[in-house]
Amino acid sequence: MTEPYGMDPTYRQRTVELLQSQLSNLIDLALMGKQAHWNLRGPEFRAIHLQLDEIVADLRLHSDEVAERILTLGDPADGRAGTVSAQSSLPAFPEGYLPALGAAKELADRMDLAVRKMRGAIGQLGELDPISEDLAIGISASVEKHQWMLRALTEK
Ligand SMILES: [Fe+2]
């Protein structure tokens, strides 16, 4: 197949690699969001339990957008559990029950790390593929907003 959209093959390959690593982080974050959603406890349970499902819904949407951008660029996406586990740059979420505000902080910290990685990718994508850059900017804005709303629970 010829390179799609007249892209330089090296640029296309590097773009796909950057998107694939963002995909693993986004899937990992969505799994952590559910882990927190289930296991939090305490008086803030209901509000944060519901808030986490809103976050997970957006993270799943964003992982779908990134995966489909990879396909649009002509490569398969890899969202398998083993790949996510190997590629994610985020520390594992704590196991077991968590106080609700503690769970919010654990997820907010990992969202911050994921955004740092995403912003690093955005810096490179600007050169490589502005369409993927645009997608990553929109996703980063969404994750940053959710991160703020979690952070606001625990910071004074
Ligand atoms: Fe649920």
Distance from the alpha carbon of residue 119 to the mean position of ligand 1, in angstroms: 30
Distance 53 CA to ligand 1 centre (A): 7
Cα of 62 to ligand 1 centre, how many Å? Answer: 19
pLDDT digits (tens, 9 = 90+) for 63-110: 999 999 999 999 999 999 999 999 999 999 999 999 999 999 999 999
Average pLDDT over every residue of 2-28: 95
Is the pLDDT score of 2 beyond 90?
no
CB-based contacts of 123: which residues, under 8 Å, 6+ apart?
A: none
Domains of the chain: residue spans and CATH: 8-154 (1.20.1260.10)
Determine the Cα–Cα distance for residues 77 and 99; give it in Å rounded to an integer: 36
Strand ranges in 35-112 using DSSP code E only, listed in sequence order: 40-41, 98-99
Distance 60 CA to ligand 1 centre (A): 15
pLDDT of residue 60: 98
| Average pLDDT rounded to a whole number, residues 116-130 | 97
Distance 68 CA to ligand 1 centre (A): 26
